[in-house]
Amino acid sequence: MLTIYGSDLSAPANKVRFAANAIGIKYEYKRIDLRAGEHLKPEFLAINPVGKVPAIDDDGFKMFESNAIIRYLADKNNSPLYPKGLRDRAVVDMWLDFGSMHVGAALSKVIYNRLFAPLRNIPVDENSLQEGLKFLDRFLPAVDGQLAKNKYIAGARLTLADINLLALFDPCEIAAIDISPCKDIVRWREALRKEKFYTDCHPEYGAALKDRLAALKAGNKS
């Protein structure tokens, strides 16, 4: 049986769950408490030697890196989320890589400095924050333009490229990232967040964050 190791606030980990849900894979989800350092314990390092989530154990076959994982899961299950045709797959790979390496990298600078640094009492890196916002101003119109032409990011069908971007955009509201000017991103995102593969993971990212904060407060009182 497939086991997914993740954290509820990790967009890459949630991406793997979105993909598994959309493919229709039964799996066990094991939460790794990053705050408690569970990702650095020997038993987890045996699964992922770099000590990060997500990771999977598929009947003894262990993997890390979210994009590699979702490609593997889709290929193993012959899912149309990762099409077989050379050019169709190339388009999915193009937007999957652009999403992670450019949009995701910019989002992570903003999300880390507006959300996670304050949660961890770490000083905000204003230069990094502003750089992230600058790159979002550059890259989001490209995504919006693609979605103005297509229902989904790689064409007429849902693919791994959509799964990836959907997870990356999840913390936007809680990190005060305004995507409302990108009307087609908003339209696409609102539709996908109603899909069962998403709601089976969480109602929305903000709810997961509130649950996590409540657990932290309860832990501090005990």
Q: Which residues pair with 4 in a beta bridge?
A: 29, 56
Given CA atoms 127, 174, 96, 34 in this order, what sign does their dihedral have? positive
CB neighbours (10 Å) of residue 105?
Answer: 15
Which residue among 7, 10, 66, 79 is the active-site one? 10
Number of residues that this document lists for the chain: 222
Q: Which residues pair with 58 in a beta bridge?
A: 2, 61
Using alpha carbons, list the distances in angstroms from residue 211 to 91, 93, 202, 217.
Answer: 37, 34, 11, 10
10 a catalytic residue: yes
Q: What positions carry a catalytic annotation?
A: 10
